[in-house]
């Protein structure tokens, strides 16, 4: 299946000069969504992964579906103030601002083996923060998986020595 056909470019979003890669057409098509998840988790099938951690917001969609495909649990990495109970936060820079991710303090209890999943790997700031957060909370990161990698932004360089899988790359 040609997944690129289901990705729409939206120019000047969220600010002038940025071309946003809109994955909603892909998510709206059952066959494209199914194929994208199968490709996303393929390198990790049969590996001892306990949890998938997905970043807010589209990482929740792809992460939860990846967790189901791998028959493991899912942990949301949220924006500040969205989780009830005690949390740990990590702040990071975006290509157009800064942000934070939080997870429950007990999310990775027992050094759980974790796959980090998000929709797009851009500058790598969110992925690096997710990795740092998971490890701060005792998780062992087995790898990261992304549907789309924007190679020209070199986000992979923020994950040196780490296993990174991207289904598509531009």
| Extents of the domains making up the chain | 47-169
Inform me whether the pLDDT recorded for 154 exceeds 80: yes
What is the chain's mean pLDDT, rounded? 95
Neighbours of 39 (CB within 10 A): 17
Q: State whether residue 22 is helix, strand or coil.
A: strand
What span, in angstroms and rounded, lies between the C-alpha atoms of 56 and 81?
13
Q: In the prediction, which pLDDT does 95 show?
A: 61
pLDDT for the residue 102? 97
Q: Assign 100 a pLDDT band (cuts: 50, 70, 90).
A: very high
CATH number, domain 47-169, options 3.40.50.2020, 3.40.50.300, 3.90.480.20, 3.20.20.150: 3.40.50.2020
Give the Å distances, CA to CA, from 140 to 1, 40, 49, 54, 130: 33, 19, 10, 15, 12
Encode pLDDT of 8-44 as tens digits. 999 999 889 989 999 999 999 999 999 999 999 999 9
Which residues are catalytic, by number?
A: 58, 95
User: β-pairing, 51-55 with 113-121?
Assistant: parallel
Unique residue bearing structure tokens 């120019």: 11
pTM given for the model: 0.94
């Amino acid at each position: 299946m040609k997944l690129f056909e289901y990705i729409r470019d939206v120019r000047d979003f969220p600010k002038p000069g940025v071309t946003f890669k809109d994955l909603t057409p892909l998510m709206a098509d059952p066959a494209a969504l199914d194929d994208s998840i199968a490709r996303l988790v393929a390198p990790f099938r049969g590996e001892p992964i306990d949890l998938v951690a997905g970043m807010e917001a589209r990482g929740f969609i792809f992460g939860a579906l990846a967790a189901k495909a791998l028959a493991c649990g899912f942990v949301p990495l949220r924006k500040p103030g969205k989780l009830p109970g005690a949390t740990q936060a990590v702040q990071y820079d975006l290509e157009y601002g800064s942000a934070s991710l939080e997870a429950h303090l007990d999310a990775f209890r027992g050094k759980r083996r974790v796959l980090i999943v998000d929709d797009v790997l851009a500058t790598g700031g969110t992925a690096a923060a997710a990795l740092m957060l998971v490890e701060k909370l005792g998780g062992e990161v087995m790898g990261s998986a992304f549907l789309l990698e924007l190679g020209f932004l070199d986000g992979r360089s923020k994950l040196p020595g780490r296993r990174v899988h991207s289904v598509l790359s531009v």
